[in-house]
């Protein structure tokens, strides 16, 4: 009888121990899951003291989980916005605060939300919303820039229309005003076309690998650049010196229209910003690792180092007044950068104030198709290998 009782007691103790072990394991799994969460998690007691936090929350607020345990959250998160939010006891919304790692060149924005639960405890969740805040700021800047770029020519057009409606003008004055109105209309059309191009590039998949013959493409870009140069710097003044290297002995797999737009933007930018008498050099080359590189080098005024990292942003201009005088929309480099990225390449910029700049498009080796001369009858032609 005593043996049976002992056996049953031992079995009950083992079952209870197993249940305790299972509970401990579930707790460990739960803690591991919270630690793996991309959000910061802090458990607060009814007085607002920290009972526990995961590693993400520790990084967000500079908390030491061991040292700061049972510290009041208000002593560690001193943002006025959070202090007011905590005191309001209205936790239906979140509050935005500055992260502990925030720096002038590296902003950090956090979203913090408190959730009360049993017995006055609170669950505090934090989320890094820096990227969202930057995207929202970029959207606001984009709308403001587009509005500004369109408002300027519209104001000019409206002024000329009002003048032509209210004043008697002779034929020569009417012709002059109509010419200026046409120029402003063309400016708005160019802006709209560039915006549509950017939208199409961002919303479509990368281009297929159809080989593009760069010879005719470069001939078109050269003719366009020389025409623009003659317009901006007539021969009787100080004409620019444009030098185009030999057509490359290779093709590029990609979208011909996109590549032409990117190359044309780089060359035309160099023409616009290089003063009369200056030089522009355009060269294709095959790099030792098989990549292809187009370099457009000018002897323009150059660009200060602090601007280089922002080139390629929509509407970003180093010198706004000169950009508008040259007829640019501020979207050319953004389009060029998107085209390069869609083809697996990159836009590289190097510059020195007072000495000029080099803008280069570099495409990966897998996009390059070597041209080989096929010896046959008199109809020999170049083929892509």
**Do 229 and 147 fall within a single domain?**
no
**Do 89 and 18 fall within a single domain?**
no
The domain spanning residue 89 has which CATH number?
3.30.450.20
**Residue 283 tokens, joined:** 């060269």
How far is it, in rounded angstroms, from Cα 90 to Cα 102? 27
Q: How many residues in the chain? A: 385
Q: Residue 264: phi, psi to the nearest 5?
A: -60, -40
**Do 224 and 335 fall within a single domain?**
yes
**Do 191 and 235 fall within a single domain?**
no
**Do 279 and 378 fall within a single domain?**
yes
Sheet holding 250-253, edge to edge: 211-212, 250-253, 368-374, 381-384
> What does the DSSP 8-state code read for residue 365?
G
**Do 214 and 152 fall within a single domain?**
no
Q: Which of 221-230, 244-253, 295-304, 363-372 has the lowest mean pLDDT?
A: 363-372
The domain spanning residue 199 has which CATH number?
1.10.287.130
Helix spans in 37-166 (H): 55-61, 73-76, 80-88, 130-166
**Do 56 and 73 fall within a single domain?**
yes
In the structure, what pLDDT confidence band is assigned to residue 377 with cuts at 50, 70 and 90?
Answer: very low
258-290 pLDDT, tens digit each = 999 999 999 999 998 899 889 999 999 999 999
Q: Which of 230-234, 353-357, 378-382 has the lowest mean pLDDT?
A: 378-382
**Do 255 and 385 fall within a single domain?**
yes
| CB-based contact 210:239 (threshold 8 Å) | no
Task: Work out the mean pLDDT of the chain and round it to a whole number.
Answer: 83
**Do 198 and 211 fall within a single domain?**
no
Range of the domain at 154: 134-204
**Do 70 and 1 fall within a single domain?**
no
**Do 15 and 88 fall within a single domain?**
no
């Amino acid at each position: 009888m005593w043996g049976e009782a002992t056996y049953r007691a031992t079995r009950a103790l083992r079952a209870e121990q197993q249940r305790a072990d299972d509970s401990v394991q579930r707790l460990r799994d739960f803690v591991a899951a919270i630690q793996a969460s991309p959000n910061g998690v802090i458990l607060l007691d009814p007085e607002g003291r920290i009972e526990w936090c995961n590693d993400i929350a520790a990084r967000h607020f500079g908390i030491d989980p061991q040292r700061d345990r049972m510290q009041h959250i208000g002593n560690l998160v001193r943002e006025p916005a959070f202090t007011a939010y905590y005191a309001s006891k209205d936790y239906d919304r979140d509050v935005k605060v500055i992260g502990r790692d925030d720096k002038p060149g590296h902003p950090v924005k956090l979203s913090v939300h408190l959730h009360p639960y049993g017995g006055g405890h609170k669950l505090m969740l934090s989320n890094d919303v820096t990227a969202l805040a930057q995207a929202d700021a970029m959207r606001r800047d984009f709308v403001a820039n587009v509005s500004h770029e369109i408002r300027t020519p519209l104001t000019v057009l409206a002024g000329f229309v009002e003048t032509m409606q209210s004043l008697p003008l002779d034929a020569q004055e009417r012709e002059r005003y109509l010419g200026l109105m046409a120029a402003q209309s063309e400016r708005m059309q160019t802006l709209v076309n560039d915006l549509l191009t950017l939208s199409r590039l961002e919303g479509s998949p990368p281009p297929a690998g159809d080989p593009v013959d760069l010879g005719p493409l470069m001939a078109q870009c050269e003719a366009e650049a020389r025409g623009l140069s003659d317009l901006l710097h007539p021969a009787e003044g100080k004409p620019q010196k444009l030098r185009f290297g030999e057509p490359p002995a290779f093709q590029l797999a990609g979208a011909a229209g996109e590549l032409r737009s990117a190359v044309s933007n780089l060359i035309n930018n160099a023409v616009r910003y290089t003063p009369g008498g200056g030089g522009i050099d355009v060269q294709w080359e095959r790099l030792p690792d098989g990549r292809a590189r187009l370099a457009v080098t000018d002897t323009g005024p150059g660009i200060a180092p602090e601007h280089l990292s922002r080139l390629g942003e929509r509407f970003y201009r180093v010198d706004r007044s000169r950009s508008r005088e040259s007829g640019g929309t501020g979207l050319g480099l953004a389009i060029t950068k998107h085209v390069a990225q869609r083809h697996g390449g990159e836009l590289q910029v190097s510059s020195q104030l007072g000495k000029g700049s080099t803008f280069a498009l570099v495409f990966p080796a897998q996009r390059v198709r070597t041209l080989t001369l096929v010896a046959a009858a008199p109809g020999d032609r170049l083929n892509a290998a």
